[in-house]
Chains A and B, each alone.
Chain A
Amino acid sequence: MNLILSKLKEVVLSVLPITLIVVLLNFTLTPLETPYFIRFLIAAALIIIGLTVFLLGVDLGITPIGVDLGQSVAKSNRIWMVALAGILLGFFINIAEPDLHVLAGQVQSVTSALISKQLILIVVSVGIAVMLSLGLIRIVKYVPLNIMFTVLYAIIFFLAFFTTPEFLAISFDASGATTGALTTPFMLALALGVSRLKKDSKASEIDSFGLVGLASSGAIISVMVMSIISKPEGVAAAVATDEASTNSILLPFIQMLPTIAWEIALALMPIVIIFLISRKFSLKMSKKSFIKVLFGLIMTFTGLVIFLLGVNAGFMKVGNIVGFKFASMDSGLYVILAGFILGMVTIIAEPAVSILTHQIEDVTSGYVKRKVVMVFLALGVALAVALSIVRIVVPEIQLWHFLLPGYLLSIVMSFFTPKLFVGIAFDSGGVASGPMAATFILAFAQGAAEATESANVLIDGFGIIAMIAMTPLIALQILGFIFKIKSKKRG
């Protein structure tokens, strides 16, 4: 019981802040209509239950599969095996990722179907697969992470010159879309498995991180390349209209259940298939641990469905309303401040953040504590949301005004921060832009954009995920600096 209770406690502590703030707002600044408010409370309960079950399931199912796969791939001792495994795993896991399907749908509608959904799915999956493969080879071949990121972001900056502003935002958003709730823990575990075999313990620790960051840059590059090649004429302003709002409290939950369950089943499928195949050929696993993993997978599925149900049916609309109401106030300052606070509390409830911070604590045997990472991550994301809102309120500011200096700074920093933190920082960039950010924060920003006359919902709506993926790079590298200075020996 102990394990379940401690997980539940951890989840309650991470979901409570955002719930309390919305409840507080409901009674003070931004009252919600009763059905929305009740739905929000039900959603909060669902999120707590779902997240607890999901995180337990990931520990039992996804992580062991990833680590075992990583280890057996590295043990093969053949570079082409590592490369091939990276390509195959990267492609099949990402093509089933629900977030990527959403992104692909958006791009299709934005370009008036000039770029088809299937094409985007395949191109982005290939991009990620190539990066995942390179990332695994990097671990085996000892290529420094900061060198890889420097080269990759140099390519991205070069491509950015030829990309239209709309597609710039979309391609950076793609980096967030690729690192969904299922793929992130799997990639983290894969890197852990490959690097764990290293005899040099320092290198093994450092190389446990960074793979997620590399995979996201693959997504950015592939979307940019695609937009340059296909040259979309312009951006159509068709944005998906909101679903008809009902006053029924439970209806949205029931309506969304089949879609979400199907999406998650689809996303989980490649992992299950890969697991079953590899068990046949290479993995040695007792019957008991096999059942454990299967049970973990079932828990992962159930938990994630419940969690996403809560987020999509309850949180999203509330985020939208709160954003709209704050932006309608007479001073822009209110909405910026609200963005800061909501960004801070939302990121704490993000599933992958919990998984990453636990892994950091485990790998470093408690040297880098979860809480410190959480604090810096929360501050980073808070700043990202606040700056995104500034961009909505002040039309003169463009997305690249933030992204260019931000990424330049983080690349420069990566040469001075301890290597461990470079990997952690770039991973957390991908981790921060998970389902919570993609629903609640995005809805909040879109609500704010709707209420601001000068803002274009479409253009300003994109790019927020990009910001959320960028600021943790800086925040966590700053943390790395602090650790470097503080842990110096005083003889």
Chain B
Amino acid sequence: MNDIAEEINIELIYVIVNHGFGSRIVKAAKRDGIKGSTIAYARGTAHKKFLDYLGLSDIRKEIVFLLADKETAFRAMEDLNRDFCFDKPNHGIAFTTSVCKVSGTKNIVCNKKSERGAESVMFNLITIIVDKGKGEEVVAAAEKSGSRGATILNARGSGIHETAKLFSMEIAPEKEIVLILSECGITDEIVNSISSSLKMNEPGNGIIYVQNVNTAYGVR
């Protein structure tokens, strides 16, 4: 477990853009030194009453997940904003959230754990990104150490170990994103269990990161 990051020095960038732009965002982000990325499909609405009624307002979106250390993340954010003009309407949105633990990648190095409002945080959000089909394994491993539930999203993405080109187009292998909300006390256990059963220490087997959750409903 030597590469588990233990300092809030890492940022998770979310970029939500119209369908088709995801791959371009990733390409731009790679220039800034962000190595891995995951893209999931989503739907958004445009708020036009008449079209909404007829169901013609659903717009296909892509959510891009990028993980990087703070410095790289902010540089990437600035560059992305310049290239894709998020300030203008209908150009998508981008935001970052902080991450308190990362495992499964050697590109992000951190040092010390910091206690940030330890009392107020009761839950952690554990996000695990693995190859398609392994989501069930992740859930099984998490349940063994006390997790009560999980949500799986379909996505595509690539790390430095697995990019391929088909003609001029990049192929990003299929992934699954598993979201688990856990009580702070058992977060470590769950992460360790997943990490060991899926051999996350070895390169190319997936990534785990943990975020603090400020409020949570419906989790017991």
Interface residue ranges, A against B (CB under 8 Å): 1-4, 56, 60, 199-202, 205, 288-289, 291-292, 295-296, 362, 364-367, 369, 371-372, 482-483, 486-491
Contacts and interface: CB of A to CB of B under 8 A. Distances in A.
A474 B61 CA distance: 33
A296 B58 CA distance: 14
Contact of A372 (B62, B169, B176): B169
Interface stretch (B110-118, B149-157, B181-189): B149-157
A1, A295, A372, A487 pick with most chain B CB within 10 angstroms: A487
Contacts of B62: 366
Kindly list the 8 A-B residue pairs having the minimum CB-CB distance in the complex, ordered from nearest.
Answer: A202-B133, A292-B55, A486-B164, A367-B174, A365-B154, A365-B156, A367-B156, A366-B156
27 contacts: A1-B46, A2-B59, A3-B59, A4-B56, A60-B55, A60-B56, A201-B133, A201-B152, A202-B132, A205-B132, A295-B55, A296-B55, A362-B41, A365-B154, A365-B156, A366-B23, A366-B172, A372-B166, A372-B169, A483-B171, A486-B165, A486-B171, A487-B173, A489-B161, A490-B161, A491-B161, A491-B204
Nearest to A4: B56
Contacts of B176: 201
Contacts of B146: none
A371 B171 CA distance: 12
A201 B132 contact: yes
Contact of B133 (A56, A200, A296): A200
A63 to B, nearest CB: 12
B2 interface: no
B59 A365 contact: no
Given A482-B166, A489-B161, A367 B173 contact: yes
Nearest to A61: B55
B18, B56, B133, B156 pick with most chain A CB within 10 angstroms: B56
A365 B48 contact: no
Contact of A371 (B41, B161, B169, B172): B169
A292 to B, nearest CB: 4
B156 A2 contact: no
B90, B135, B173, B176 pick with most chain A CB within 10 angstroms: B173
A288 B52 CA distance: 10
Nearest to A364: B174
B216 interface: no
A288 B49 CA distance: 13
A369 B136 contact: no
B51 A1 contact: yes
A288 B176 CA distance: 32
B40 A365 contact: yes
A58 to B, nearest CB: 13
Nearest to A56: B56
Contact of A366 (B18, B41, B51, B136): B41
A365 B169 contact: no
B44 to A, nearest CB: 10
A488 to B, nearest CB: 8
